[in-house]
Amino acid sequence: MKKFFTTLAVALMLMTVPAQAQLKFGLTGGLNMTQMSYSEDLVEDNASNKTGFFVGPTVTFTLPVIGLGFDASALYDQRSAESKNSAETTTIKSKSIQVPINVRYGIGLGSMASVFAFAGPQFGFNIGDKTQALDEYTEWTLKSSNMSVNMGLSAMVLGHLQAKINYNIALGKTGEFEASSAAKAAGSAVGLGDAKANSWQVSLTYLF
């Protein structure tokens, strides 16, 4: 009899959780502010912050009773940063598909709003030009793929509109500075080194 009631309790719990879970689809759009950091003293100053954007579909899964949830997106992401050396200033650009997958924990503020913290990995896949000439001697080469981590806060209002702010931290190098073909032909190794691109991001998501 004890085993029967235990089995019944587990079954009821499994039936209740899906009923309370909320699966929603939506559209996300936002801005990122990118800052480059260098492994070598390749430029006079770190690259200046430049504003880019991202947009794409989002899915969220939430268990309201315990406040735990997940979200994932597939975002077209465009970023840029200004690189300064003794000769000129060049804008470094990247176009990629970014796939953030976050675990989040929220606290309800009544029926109209809630706030939550989130964190998780983000996987990026370059879809733009892989190599860009910075000057006569140096080229910037993006990695074909990269991985980063998101950490941030968000607020949900009216059950549909979600605002986020987060910091995106690159886990490895974003790209490499290499000598151009002309520099290599001349036996020069000017501009060797690599860099990471971290970004502050703000976004809005509308969930249907």
DSSP letter for each residue of 15-31: HHHHHH-EEEEEEEEEE
pLDDT tens-digit profile, the chain (208 residues): 555 445 544 444 444 445 456 899 999 999 999 888 777 655 544 455 678 999 999 999 988 777 899 999 999 999 987 776 656 677 888 999 999 999 999 888 766 889 999 999 999 999 998 888 877 777 888 999 999 999 999 999 988 999 999 999 999 888 888 777 776 777 665 556 788 889 999 999 999 9
Q: Beta strand 113-126 with 175-179: parallel, antiparallel or unpaired? A: unpaired
* Residues contacting residue 140 through CB under 8 Å, at least 6 positions apart: 83, 92, 131, 132, 133, 134, 175, 176, 177
Does the model's pTM come out above 0.85? no
